[in-house]
Amino acid sequence: MKARILRSFLAAIFFVSPLLLSSACGNPRIFIENPVFDAGKIPQGEKIAHDFLIKNTGDKVLSVKVRPC
């Protein structure tokens, strides 16, 4: 389960990294307040949830598509 969370997090970072590296004016700019979440030890079969706060600090529309793993 922890490996699954790590894969989800890495997939999210891979998706948003081009937006993080974009520094030109007139673009969306993503800001994630606490981008790392450590769920600790989770018993097998137990479900967990965590919310990430994502803000657009740019001046154009930011589009984020959420896809299940």
Q: Tokens at residue 4, please? A: 């699954």
Mean predicted confidence (pLDDT) in 45-65: 90
pLDDT digits (tens, 9 = 90+) for 13-54: 666 666 655 555 689 999 998 889 999 999 999 998 989 898
The 3-state DSSP class for residue 54 equals strand
Q: Distance between CA atoms of 53 and 62, rounded to whole angstroms? A: 14
